[in-house]
Amino acid sequence: MEGFSDPSSPSVEAQSEPIQPNQPLAAEMPAAPASQDLTENQPPSAARLPPPTDPSPAPASAAGESSPASAPDESFAASSPPPDEQLRTMQMTLAALASDEFVFRADKAPDPFKPFIEPADSPTPHSGTTGNNDDEEAPPEPSRPLTPLQKMTLAEIEAGLRAITWSEYGRRAIIEDSTGKGYIVAMGTPAGDRNGVISQIFNDRLVIQQENWDRQAKRMITLDSVVKLKKRESN
């Protein structure tokens, strides 16, 4: 029933009495020994830090002694230009690049008309051994390669002239050399040992233009020489 209490049952206050702990309080705990390492209570990052170094400079060495690490490299100092000269060169280069003036020197420019291959020197005039002035002023010998017809004289051409033909394509002549080999020639064919050229072909003769040396004018002049076709006697 409400409001009735049994005196034989324990009271509520007696049941709510706090229980005393068996371990002592923090104030009564024993203190840590003084010899314990303090790094155990520090964070891991602080324990791995290196010991501090002394920033004071190293003591100077004795007089007359120098450290090998502080000695300058003499080979590098000898190869590198002085700072003033290098600065002067750099300033001159920058000034030349920034300048708007342009000077053209023709003597320094290459000649655009000069050939890459220089021609061979022209042969000197043939000098005779007899001491005659006419031989000393002889014409220079040609240095170009010659064909078999250009090596033949007028007498050899006349002796080797075998026939002259003509058709709608023009006139042709047959010249035979000393070996029996024949050549068909036309107008403009080089022939003769004096830089000759066949200029005209007739029914019975050839006209060959050749260069001859004029001793008085001391130059080459062109002359026409006639080579006649010999008629063969019939048996």
pLDDT (tens digit per residue) in 122-145: 554 444 444 444 455 666 666 666
* pLDDT number for residue 14: 44
Q: Is 157 left (phi over 0), alpha (psi -120 to 50) or beta?
A: alpha
Contacts of 38-41 with C-beta under 8 Å, sequence gap 24+, read none
* pLDDT number for residue 130: 43
Q: How confident is the model at residue 85 (pLDDT cuts 50, 70, 90)?
A: confident
Question: Taking residues 77-86, what's their average pLDDT?
Answer: 66
Token digits of residue 102: 């342009």
Cβ 197 vs Cβ 209: under 8 Å: yes
The three-point CA angle 178-181-187 to 5° equals 100
The three-point CA angle 154-160-164 to 5° equals 100
- Residue 170's CB is within 10 A of a number of other CB atoms, namely 10
Predicted TM-score (pTM) of the model is: 0.40
Q: Using one digit for the tens of pLDDT, what is the confidence trace for 37-65?
A: 544 555 554 445 555 555 555 554 444 44
Annotation: CATH topology of 148-228? SH3 type barrels. (2.30.30)
* pLDDT number for residue 189: 92
207: Cβ–Cβ under 8 A, 6 or more apart, which residues? 198, 199, 200, 201, 224, 225, 226, 227
